[in-house]
Each structure stands twice: as structure tokens, then as C-alpha cells.
Amino acid sequence: MPIPMTKAIRPIGDALNGAIGELPHGAFNFGLYFNKWMYIENGDQALGDTGRKPWACTGADESKLVDHREKVRDFNQLLDNYDVSIAMYNGSTTYRRNKAVGQQRNGVTQYREEPGDVTLHGAWNRNVTKKFLDDRHNSLKSIAASFASIGYEYLEIEAEMLSPLVIGLGNEHPSEKGFHFDWTLGIPAIPAAGIKGVVRLAWLVDRLNEKPETEARRFWNEITGRWLRDDGKGESILPEEARNIFGCGEITRPEERKQANARGKVIFLDALPATLPRLAAEIMNCHYPDYLNKPANDPGFRGPTEDQNPNPQKFWAVAHLDKHGKPLRFVFRLLIHNEIAADADRKKTLLAAVDNALAQHGMGAKTAIGHGRFHAMNPPGTGKGGSGKDTIDRPATPAPNPEQVRQDKLAAFRNALPKLQELPSRMQAEIAKVRNEQEIELRREMCRALLDLARSDKKRFKEAKRNNKKWAIVILELSGELGIDIS
């Protein structure tokens, strides 16, 4: 006998719930919808069967739809929070999910779960938000330019995304996977504090790399706070130039290490997309749920064995390509005090740090696997992290042979490719390496090498494509972007 559809409830007042409707329509703050208006499974036992995760804000309705070829229940679209929110944000009218599909056999209807398109009941008016975004850019330009009258130079950097951007993953959210939307626009934005932190890190790493080993170790201990306690829980002592540029907090003890709080001479503004972006679903896998999610005294506790079922977890990201396959751009804005802007050497090191922060360190979360990388269209720095002028006259270095450089880069990329069995978990990082390469022909060669590795086990790759595995799809998408034959 069919079980009733899993009940959903939105934890807000009746009046507001009625005003919003089942799913919102028209012009509304998407960030407000994301943070406050998503559904949870209604766990009221009086309703009977309440699904798999009562009172949880699930990514999707995980109810079993088919059992022994009999239809058990229908899914509840209101609980498909991930796919519904992404489709609504991107302006889609449908999204894909498994449905119970019946087929007549010998006069009996037999069911199985198959993926299919589902009509979306909500719709977000993107055009209104596009206008708000344009107005915000114009306002920021006007406000930032006015700072010239009080001694600041305005710098605007437009940068292309090279990989998906994950921001606010640790923010509080009922699904336990957050995302950051601008509070008033309701669109993805990179907070100024986060940008400042990464640029400061890049600046310190640049200075660290300039020092000999002994001095570098002492410098490292100071900036990481290891000078104070053996357990590494001291406070960070920044060099004077870093305090001058970025500011710092106060340290009062011990006396010889006092550091007065200081206001920095560079103001960072939130970075906004140049045009309205799209959202995409990213995924992380817990490969050892019995090891990581159960206490040691649980009868089901096991070590990290390879026979455990991965537990895929979706989370939101900003897609790095628009619907036409072109890289999305973000606009980064800085206000640099004239004390620094007028000093060519100090300004050069700052701008090199900005460039390295975008291209090497990355913005947001998951940067260790290649997320959050940017390529500045109008590079802010002239170097990649050096400081000041050379004090020694050196003979000019002969220009390298471009073809040899290309071949060396390609060889290094091939040699660093993972083993075939590790490729699915490493694919996103390898894709990011390809996208970080600026020379288009070298990018194609690197992509071909990656595609050849993926195809070296034909049976496995064919099965991955058929099952829409993420690692296979992304290399095929990149190959298509670069015009590589994938037939």
C-alpha cells in the first residue's frame, strides 16, 4: 500500500509562510530564502511515517520511492532543497531527480527509479537583481573615487574565475553547509575581511620566501605565534611593514614583545561579480562513515576500510563559467593610502601580494583542491612576489625559448599526474591546474594528457560517463570548452 508523501514544514510564522507561498516567486532576496525559508522534514508522529530524517533540513527528499518494483510513495519537491535552490537561482524551470517510473509487463505495472526532469514550482526574477547589481557597482565606483580627496588611491581589479568559488561553507545553516550571500543584494559576494586575510597571507609568504633559512624560521615563528609557547598557541607578531599596511591587534605581554593596535593603510571592499553568476552543486565524499561518524565503543565502529559506502555530501558553489561557457568575472576594489601608493617599492610588494592571493592562494574554502582561483585581467602587480629594487647590477638573463618553456611545463604536468586509481578524487585539483595555465595551446595539451589518463581504463571511464560521475563529467566539459575531440 502506498505511503503518503513525506511531510515538509517551513519553520516560520503562518502569516509569513502564507505570503511566501510554497516556493517564492518574483523578485525577492535570494540570500533570505537560502538562510530562512528552506524546508525541513515534519517529524510530527501524528502524521504517521515521517521519512528518513524527521526535523532535518535535507538536501533532497531521500524517501524510498520504489520497493520490489512497487511504487511506495511520491517525492516531495519542497524537501529537494539543494537542486530546487540552484535551479531557481539559475533561472531554470526544471531540475533533475529520481522519479518512480512505471512500465506495463504482462498486464502488471512495474516501477523503478529513473532520473528525469521535474517542473519547478518557484521562480526568481533575476532581471531585478541584475539591475540592483549594476547600481551597486556604480555606487561603489563613485564612493571609492571620492576617497581621493582624503588621501587614498582607488584600485579596481577585474579577475576571471578559473575554478568554482566556495564561500561561507562554515556559516550557520540548517543543512550544516552554509554559503555567503550579500545581505542586501542576496547574491554571492566575497567579504572584504576574507580578501584582506588572504592578501596579508600572500604578502607574508612573499617576505618569508625572500629570507635565508635561519632567518625564515625565526620569521615564521613570529608570524604564527610560536615564539610565546611551545604548544604553538601564542599571538602573532607581524613585521612593522605588515602592521602598517594591514593593521594589527594589541599585544601587551611580555614587555619586550608589546605590539600596539594599529589601523592599516589599505581598505578592502567586498568583491562582487561583474554580472549575475550561476550557482553549481559541488560534492565532498565521506569515504569511511563507520570510522568517522561512530564512537569507538559503538558495535558498528570500524577502521578506515575500503569496503565502506561513501556518503556524498553536496554543497553550494559559484559556477566559474556563465551559461555561454565564458569565465565569470569578479570585481575587487582597494583603497590605498597615499603613503603607500606614492612609494613605488612598497606599492609593488602590495600589488604582487594581491596578484598572488588571487592566482595562487585562492579565495574562499576548498582552495587546497583548486577552488577559488582567479586570473586578473588587469594584473595589479608587475612581479610575482619580489620586493624593492635589486641592489646588485646583474647581467641581463637571456630570454627563454618559449617552445622549450611550454614543453618543460607540459612534462612537469604529466609527471605530476596521479595514479589512475586516484584520479577520481584528484580530478578537480588537476582541472584547476589546467585552468590556471594562461597559454591556450598548453592548456589544450594538458587537458589532452588528463583526458588520455582518464580514458586509459576504457571500461571504467565509460561506466563513469553513463552514471554521470562528477570526475568524468568535468574533464569532458573542459575538453569541450577547449575544442578537444571527445568522440
SS3 259: strand
Asked whether residue 112 is assigned to any structural domain, the reply reads yes
CA distance 300 to 2: 32
Query: Is residue 63 included in any domain, yes or no?
Result: yes
Quick one: 100 and 241 in the same domain? no
CA–CA separation, 191 and 182 (whole Å): 8
CA dist list (Å): 106 to 103, 109, 110, 200: 10, 8, 10, 70
Beta strands, E only, 168-228: none
Give the helix/strand (H/E) hosting 101: strand 94-105
Domain match, 118 and 142 both? no
- Which backbone phi and psi does 321 adopt, to 5 degrees? -120, 145
Task: Give the pLDDT of residue 222.
Answer: 80
CB 41 within 8 A of CB 53: yes
User: Rounded CA gap, 67 and 1, in Å?
Assistant: 11
pLDDT tens, residue by residue, 336-357: 999 999 999 999 999 999 999 9
Q: Are residues 233 and 98 in the same domain?
A: no
Radius of gyration of the chain (CA): 26
pLDDT tens per residue, range 39-49 = 999 888 777 67
Arithmetic mean of pLDDT, 378-387: 49
Nearest to 387 by CA among 201, 204, 210, 205: 210
User: Does residue 258 sit in the same domain as residue 205?
Assistant: yes
Mention every residue, 6+ apart, whose C-beta is less than 8 A from residue 43.
50, 54, 55
Q: In this structure, is residue 378 part of a structural domain?
A: yes
CA 367/CA 169 separation, integer angstroms: 12
Please tell me the pTM assigned to this model. Answer: 0.74
Spatial CB neighbours of 420, under 8 Å, sequence gap ≥ 6: 453, 456, 457
Last residue of one domain, picked from the residues 99, 124, 149: 124
Phi, psi of 372 (to 5 degrees): 75, 25
Is 208 found in the same domain as 61? no
User: Where do we find the cell 566556495?
Assistant: 166
In a domain, 323, yes or no: yes
Residue 102: which domain range? 8-124
Look at residue 156 and tell me if it is in a domain: yes
Long-range CB contacts (within 8 A, 24+) of 222-228: 227/257, 228/257
Among 344, 184, 204, 357, which Cα is nearest to 268's? 357
Better-scored residue on pLDDT, 194 or 483: 194
Phi and psi, residue 90, nearest 5°:
-80, 0
Pair (46, 110) in one structural domain: yes
**Do residues 130 and 119 share a domain?**
no
* Cβ-based neighbour number of residue 400 at 10 Å: 9
d(CA 95, CA 29): 21
Q: Strand, helix or coil at 140?
A: helix
Residue 382: the pLDDT is 40
pLDDT range class, residue 396, cuts 50, 70, 90: very low
What does the block give as the cell for 241?
611593514
Mean of pLDDT values over 71-81: 93
- Number of domains present in the structure of the chain: 3
The answer to the question of residue 232 being in a domain is yes
Q: Is 309 inside any structural domain? A: no
Q: How many CB atoms lie within 10 A of CB 415?
A: 7
Would the CA dihedral through 83, 87, 92, 93 be positive or negative? positive
Q: What is the pLDDT of residues 199-214, one digit of tens each?
A: 999 999 999 998 888 8
Q: What is the pLDDT of residues 124-179, one digit of tens each?
A: 999 999 999 999 999 999 999 899 999 999 999 999 999 999 999 999 898 889 99
Of 102, 124, 146, the position where a domain reaches its end is 124
Angle value at C-alpha 309, between 305 and 310, nearest 5 degrees: 100
Same domain for 100 and 162, yes or no, is no
Give the domain-ending residue among 124, 145, 170: 124
The CA distance from 242 to 386, in Å, is 15
Residue of 4, 6, 335, 292 whose CA lies nearest to 152? 335
Cα–Cα distance, 115 to 102 (Å, whole number): 13
pLDDT of the residue at 232: 47
Each residue's pLDDT tens digit, 305-347: 888 877 778 899 999 988 888 899 999 999 999 999 999 999 9
